[in-house]
Structure 1
Amino acid sequence: MNQMSETKARVRAPETRGNFGDVDPVTFEVLRNTFEYACNRMTTIMQRTSFSPILADVLDFSNAVYDANLQLLAQAANCPVHLAAMQFSAQAAVKRFPVETLKPGDIIALNDPYQGGTHTNDITFTMPVYHEGELIGFAVSRGHWMDLGGGAAGGMSFSTHVAAEGLRLPPIKLYEGYKINRDFLAIILNNTRTPHFVEGDLQAHLGALKAAEQELQRAADRYGRETVQSCMRELIGYTERIIRKSIEDIPDGTYTAEDFADTDGFSPKPVKVKVTLRVRGSEIEVDFTGSDPTCKGSINSPYANTASAAYYSLQFFLAPHAPSNAGMFRPITLNIPKDSWLNPSWPAPVIGCTTVASSKITSAIWQALAQAIPDRVTGSTCSECNWFVSSTTDAQGRADVFSDLPAGGWGGTPFNDGMSVTMDPLGNCMNMMAETAELLFPIEYESFELRPDSAGAGRFRGGLGAVFKVRFLHEGEMNMETSRTREGSPGVNGGGRSVVQRSSHIAPDGSATVIGGIAPDGTWRSPLLSGHHFGPDEVFMFESTGGGGWGNPHERPKERVLEDVLDGYVSLERARSDYGVAIDPGTLTIDEAETARLRA
């Protein structure tokens, strides 16, 4: 360990001692699980009581509890891109409304990207929790709301100013004593295309916060406030010790990688993420120096979003088994240059931050880690959220907003092929169920099927992407955020890239036009779409990519390549060109002599 690491370890020694302090191990474990249960109960309430399908069905929300010092204590397995960022929102909330001014049932709401938020659709609710008049913690709930106004549905106007992305709330005391401020509510209702969802979703967040309050108070009643508070301190130190030990298992060194977003919507030039990981003893520095400056378009990532992406990207390969709390963050130092696209200043637009930027940060960090721990890292995922939002109009002229997240594949691992059609690591979200979408909106799902040849080749190939088709029954305007349309997600250790993604508009006569990505004539069109019109019986088709491969494709057993061909995952042509396996098209058996020649 170098001198800097030794100094930091000495400073933190009281928080990282090897025992449970004043709490016996059994009580420690019971209370640890109590904190996690509180978050899981919050999640159950959110899913069952929210009105909007993006919360109730897609599960685009997150819940956590914090101690009285606003240190993360526990979180549910919700959206990683929310969870590490929520601390910044909670801190901004309490900075605006100091603890001494708060009372039970006060709930502070904010979504301002420049006051701890991410993009404007993500609203964070922070509520203090008291026991016998003393503050013991905070409950925090964040949800992605379908629409908060702006120049296009979902705020996806892809403008040059954050004001075009919808209502931007500074920290406001939306509830006092569990009662909502009707004036603030009226402002919110006046600035959304989906007012019919808002009050129901607010009640769901309130219910989730009150559930966490009940669990923390019950724990304090049963074990005593002092014991609960001691356990909170020890739990954070416990996780920190685990994380530090995991970092020590990574060879000291400096590891650098890059990835790119396809465009900011205005310039055809790709936008670069550059990350340098410096591993020293039990600490990691994540340095984004060299990343591109603030973009004109709407893919900039506020500090909280970039920090969150860095934290969760590392956690996949540090200690995912450790309790999730503030101890995860202590050994990690961030350097995010001001006025880069990963740390912009107002009024830079940011609507694509959680979807475009986060996924590219993860891919860059994983590529850097592959240099340090090649036998543990996976190929990059599809590295995209593929977020689309569409305003719709039914036969009676009623307007609504429909949204979905067509998933792609994950990268190959050192042990197995990647998962097919799985949400990017930024979120544990679900695709919209076809039955729900067709019940609520004037659309029809035509297909959602595996996309052959979409995965990166490798000894362990990536998972497959999907072909997704939605038919508009009446008028609609679609907004789409995606990338990976210039080149697919990279593999590691000799693994290949996946194919590119593509968006198409299919007319009633079946003719298709590429509206995002590479067209048949080789021209490339920006994948950031806003206000693209669809008429009755016209179809939106999206082809997502798979994950990158792991290892040399010629080391994949030829029998497994044949299985992939028989399953329809890999074509005969790609089996030959990517894997060096010749398969007779008539008998669908391996041509051993030709395969030996190709692999020689």
Structure 2
Amino acid sequence: MLDPVTLAVIQAGLQQVCDEMDLSFSRAAFSPVIAEADDRSDGIYDAVDGSLIAQGSRGLPVFVGTMQFSTRHIIERIASGLTKPPEEGDIYIVNDPYLGGTHLMDVRFAMPFYRQGEIFCWLSNTGHWPDTGGAVPGGFSASAISAEQEGLRLPPVKLFKKGVLQDELWQVICSNIRVSEQRIGDVKAQAAALLVGAERLTTILDRYGDGTVRAAIAEMRRRAARQMEANLRLIPEGLWTARAHIDSDGVVNEPLTIALAVTRQDGRLTFDFAGTSAPCMGPMNSVRATTFSAVYLAMRHIFPDVPMSAGAFEPFEIVNIEGTFLDAQYPRPVSGCAAEVSQRIAEAVFAALVAALPDRVTAAPAGTSGNFGLGGHDPERGRDYVMYQISGGGYGGNADHDGLSNGCSTIGISKAPPVEIMEQTYPVLYRRYALHEGSGGAGEHRGGFGLDYEIELLRGSARASFVMDHGLTGPQGALGGADGAVNRVEIITPEGTIVPEHLSKAQDIPLNPGDRVRVRTPGGGGYGDPARRDPASVAEDVRLGRYSATDARRLFPGLHR
């Protein structure tokens, strides 16, 4: 029988393997979105069905489900003969959204890990490539109506065979993406991270033995399931409902609705999406893997103590996504699924469960990753570039305190790359980088504030594209709290200021030197009745310029007590 100390050491060891893969990937990558923003994740997956064994604590939570699904698809395609079987040293590349993915820019590598000639498990990672081709630099085509307009789509194929990069396949990939000469650094970093994982995992297996580690993995899964089931008993039995809305799909300027009914019964939680909008024409569809992962990560936010394991998801059932925009089928465009739709799914989960678990669930966070792609030519350096800007926003207030300001997105730990790095790498100047004052929703505990930044193009010409959300309605307040402020995007030129028709979605906007883009991201929703807010806290916010005195008197009637 496996003793508790050995189990704990092996569990921590597997987590450390994934953490080291994450750090290796970021430190060796060339692209700021990986090297600085940490838009990546690494994990260990079961050899039989691809289920999650461990994932890095520094990786994006949204990939917790998607890499599990994509690894499973690879295993199934190998078994069916659609994909060539592996040999030791092979690494598969895949970014097909419909095979357990997200959007095309999230490129996944998967490597079988062998022990004594047999696959013990799979090591897999995902990295956000700045460009994978398509209609616009960066891949965030707000007006795309098919997957082909979003970029190069790769089924699982061997990019490395027995450790050797396949040059012919690599040349095909390079011929279909922008600034391809810069991708080789990211590719080598991504592959090297898997090799680091293999080396560290070998050390653990050599020390404890394959049988002991297998037993520990099985026990970790059982315990994660039991721990999640115990947490679910904190939720009263019953039905909890909520709705969340996408501004538009980028093509048809009408909102999309996510309808959610959560039922807690017999130790399980059922997430029913009946009544959700049908598949949309533009890129705000979600694929099944991302939809499931969004539910998983929302529950991880609520119960962060449950270890990362496939067992943590066993008490969940997700139903009635078929025929909705949360279960996109080829060739529906999906560039907004991972960074935008997934966050609105999480928002619906929070809104449904906040009344059931008021001490654990927050008001809605900003709910957008602020995807801003800029592509052009830098005449001073004589080269093309693709810049991808991710940005933070306000978190929702909660039972204990105000929401965090300028926090990372709900789906991950990705942070905005440092301004200094961006200005050194691209021909831009940040004219402003500050909090979006006043954007936090009023409440007993107000929402956090979003980000207010302004970028000027210094030289050359460029094209800007945006796939964001919450430009029409702000993040939801909870238990009487007010909604957070909306997302605001402006393009400032000598001819005037342009606001996109779809508010925070647009593509191919031409920029010339001196033109500027200003983005003000949403604040989080407020929690609780604003009249109950401590007047001293309101006075402190006014003193720091977070709200004007006039707005404070209007938003927080408790000042008159």
Which TM-score tier does this pair reach, normalised by the shorter chain? over 0.9
Give the alignment partner of residue 333 of structure 2, picking from 341, 349, 364: 349
User: Does 1:120 pair with 2:120?
Assistant: no
Q: Distance in 2 between matches of 1:560 and 1:194?
A: 49
Question: Structure 1 residues 336, 56: CA separation in 2 closer, same or farther (over 3 Å shift)?
Answer: farther
Percent identity reads: 32
Q: Structure 1 counterpart of 2:71, which letter?
A: A
* Structure 1 counterpart of 2:24, one-letter code: I
Change (3 A) 1:437 1:315: same
Larger Cα Rg: Structure 1 or Structure 2? 1
**Paired position in structure 2 for 1:80:** 61
1:536 counterpart residue number: 513
Give the alignment partner of residue 430 of structure 1, picking from 404, 409, 415.
415
Give the equivalent residue in structure 1 for 2:248.
263
Give the deviation of 1:506 after TM superposition. Answer: 1.8
Alignment of 1:183-582 (within 5 A): 183-317=168-302, 319-396=303-380, 397-474=382-459, 475-507=461-493, 513-516=497-500, 525-580=502-557
> SS at 2:416's partner residue?
coil
Equivalent residue number for residue 150 of structure 2: 165
Q: Which residues of structure 2 form unaligned runs of 5+?
A: none
Contact preservation (8 Å) 1:471, 1:539: yes
Which amino acid is 1:497 matched to? D
Does the CA-based 8 Å contact 1:339-1:345 persist in structure 2? Answer: no
Partners of 2:44 and 2:52 within 8 A in 1: yes
Matched, 1:60 2:35: no
Tell me how far 1:375 sits from its aligned partner.
Answer: 2.9
TM-fit CA distance, 1:193: 0.8
SS at match of 1:258: strand
> How far does the alpha carbon of each residue in 1:528-558 deviate from its partner, in whole angstroms, 9 at most, with x for none?
1100111101110001111000100010011
Amino acid corresponding to residue 101 of structure 2 in structure 1:
G
Deviations 1:42-95 (A, max 9, x none): 011001101111111111101111232322111112111122111111111122
Q: Deviations over 1:188-224 (max 9, x none)?
A: 1111112122111111111111111112221111111
Give the conservation status (yes or no) of the 8 Å contact 2:489–2:503.
Answer: no
Q: Partners of 2:147 and 2:62 in 1: how far apart? A: 20
Deviations, residues 395-443 of structure 1 (Å, cap 9, x unaligned): 2452110011121100001000000001121111010211111111111
Q: Is the 8 A contact 2:228 2:312 kept in 1?
A: yes
For structure 1, the residue ranges without an aligned partner over 5 or more in a row are: 1-21, 517-523, 583-594
What is the aligned partner in structure 2 of residue 31 from structure 1?
10
Tell me, in whole angstroms, the C-alpha distance in 2 between the residues paired with 1:425 and 1:525: 23
**Deviation sequence 1:445-500 (CA, Å, 0-9, x none):** 11110121111000000000121111101211100111211121111011111112
Q: What SS does the aligned partner of 1:415 have?
A: coil
The two structures have a TM-score, normalised by structure 1, of: 0.90
TM-aligned CA distance change 1:100 to 1:300, over 3 Å = closer
Q: Deviations over 1:363-399 (max 9, x none)?
A: 1110000131123211100111111111022124521
Amino acid at match of 2:89: G
Counterpart residue type for residue 570 of structure 1: Y
Q: Which residue identity is paired with 1:81?
A: V
Counterpart of 1:555, as a letter, is: R
Quote how far apart the aligned CAs of 1:97 are. Answer: 2.3
Quote how far apart the aligned CAs of 1:339 are: 2.7
1:50 pairs with one of 25, 29, 38: 29
**SS state at 1:101 partner:** coil
Inter-partner Cα distance in structure 1 for 2:391 and 2:46: 36
8 Å contact kept, 2:488–2:503: no
Q: Distance in 2 between matches of 1:94 and 1:106?
A: 14
Per-residue deviation at 1:136? Answer: 1.5
Q: TM-score, length-normalised on structure 2?
A: 0.96
Residues 392 and 442 of structure 1 are in contact (CA less than 8 Å); yes or no, is this contact kept in structure 2? no
**RMSD across aligned C-alpha pairs, in angstroms?**
1.5
Matched letter for residue 563 of structure 1: E
Q: SS of the counterpart of 1:51?
A: coil
Structure 1 residue aligned with 2:72, among 79, 82, 91?
Answer: 91
Residue deviations 1:119-176, cap 9 Å, x none?
A: 1111111111112223221101111100010000112222111110000001101111
1: CA distance between counterparts of 2:388 and 2:359?
38
Deviation at 1:581, TM superposition (A): 5.6
Shift of 1:507: 2.5
For the residues of structure 1 that align with 2:513 and 2:135, how far apart are their CA atoms?
23
**Does the 8 Å contact 1:131/1:220 carry over to 2?**
no
Distance 2:333 2:436 in 1: 33
Distance 2:432 2:218 in 1: 50
CA contact (8 A) 1:392 1:441 kept: no
Partner residue in 2 for 1:107: 91
The whole-number CA distance in structure 1 between the counterparts of 2:329 and 2:84 is: 30
- Kindly provide the amino acid, as one letter, of the partner of residue 530 in structure 1: Q
Deviation at 1:100, TM superposition (A): 10
SS state at 2:355 partner: helix
Amino acid at match of 2:364: S
8 Å Cα contact 1:63-1:83 kept in structure 2: no
CA distance 1:446–1:41, shift in 2 (3 Å):
same
For residue 35 of structure 1, what is the amino acid of its counterpart? L
* 8 Å CA contact retained: 2:431, 2:456: yes
CA distance in 1, matches of 2:247, 2:86: 45
Q: 2:62 is paired with a residue of what secondary structure?
A: helix
Distance 1:147 1:339 in 2: 30
Which whole-Å CA distance do the structure 1 matches of 2:509 and 2:34 have between them? Answer: 25
